[in-house]
Amino acid sequence: MKRATEKPSKPRAKTQKRASGGPEPHEASGEPVTTSSRTHPAVIAFLRELDHPLKQEIEALRQIILGVSPDIREEIKWNAPSFRTAEHFATFNLRTRDRVRLILHLGAKVKDTATKGIDIADPAGLLEWLAKDRCLVTFSDGKDIQAKRPALEAILRAWIRLT
């Protein structure tokens, strides 16, 4: 009997889970990652190894997202840096090499918003709706990120309130 050949899986960054009250995780440098920074060693390692022409822009956007609220945490989800408060709400889409894309969503589980939609103010026109509960924000370069920063921060604050 012949066995079906399996596709090789994509390499994925592994996330580390830590029980509350346990010791703080450490970066590869040996420096502790503080709770106030809300960074995750898996994300730091993922970005260190990332081969993307807009890596600097990805890092700048990551810092903007983390700066929106002290409740935001990051981890690797769906093979990319993803951000959460109570639920995941934003994940990088790193497949395109000529721009930086951020998908805004309300976690992996289907909610009522999937049928009724989300009402988010978007006066700058940043959001490209992919579904009623999921949209895409695209940036061409660092200048574009900085120009859209205030509008993005306002959208992220409103989006987080939905999670």
Give per-residue pLDDT as tens, 127-158. 999 998 899 999 999 999 999 999 999 999 99
Q: What is the pLDDT of residues 49-104, one digit of tens each?
A: 999 999 999 999 999 999 999 999 999 998 999 999 988 999 999 999 999 999 99
The token duo for 143 is 């200048």
Query: Looking at residue 114, what DSSP letter applies?
Result: H
Residues 127, 120: contact at Cβ < 8 Å? Answer: yes
Question: Using N-to-C axis directions, what is the helix angle for 142-162 and 55-68, rounded to 10°?
Answer: 30
Q: What is the pLDDT of residues 19-59, one digit of tens each?
A: 333 333 333 333 333 434 578 999 999 999 999 999 999 99
Residues 101, 137: contact at Cβ < 8 Å? Answer: yes
- What pLDDT, on a 0 to 100 scale, did the predictor assign at position 117? 74
Other CB atoms within a 10 A radius of the CB of residue 88 amount to 19
Q: How far apart are CA 153 and CA 124, in angstroms?
A: 12
Q: How far apart are CA 163 and CA 158, in angstroms?
A: 10
